[in-house]
Structure 1
């Protein structure tokens, strides 16, 4: 996910990958973009590509549908024609991307909740 300052959250700028360096759009979309590993046929994330035999097209399509429902409308899955997904953005054969152009976030200072044991 993009970090507070909009950079690659994994490391220092010198070690950040060029693919992930702009996920926060240089501070203008901090925390609004995330990459994730695709889901396999067991419903678990896997390190592989969308052309793999274990890639579950239906599960990944549903993931993007849910993300779109909750305001993530800048979504990438190279070669996949899912609703709300730009399939033409390259570099997303081995992972998906969800992003939000504008979600009205609220800062919560205090939560009054009863803890159930």
Structure 2
């Protein structure tokens, strides 16, 4: 009976040790699962922050593209206005040149007329 009691004690101690080890392992695994869960939560937060940063960067790029397009439009307006002013200046110069040509023609005719009168007066 003593052998049986010893064997029974050994079996009970073995079962107790296995149970304690199992409980310790379960607690350790729960602790690790908690850490894993925290890491996943932190990762999700980091991913969300990165997505927010990307959205902010995209919005900034879109705003810059709009500003660049507005700048291009303003430059085109300025170039068009300069071209219009140049054409107007050329037209004004052409009109002035036309008036000069007309005045030269009139004065030439007047000179010719006066020269003829002088010839007539000199002939007499």
Report 1 or 2 for greater relative contact order, CA contacts < 8 Å, sequence distance ≥ 6. Answer: 1
From the two aligned structures, give the one with the greater helix fraction: 2
Q: Which has the larger Rg? A: 2
TM-score normalized by the length of structure 2: 0.16
Which protein has the bigger strand share? 1
- TM value normalised by structure 1: 0.16
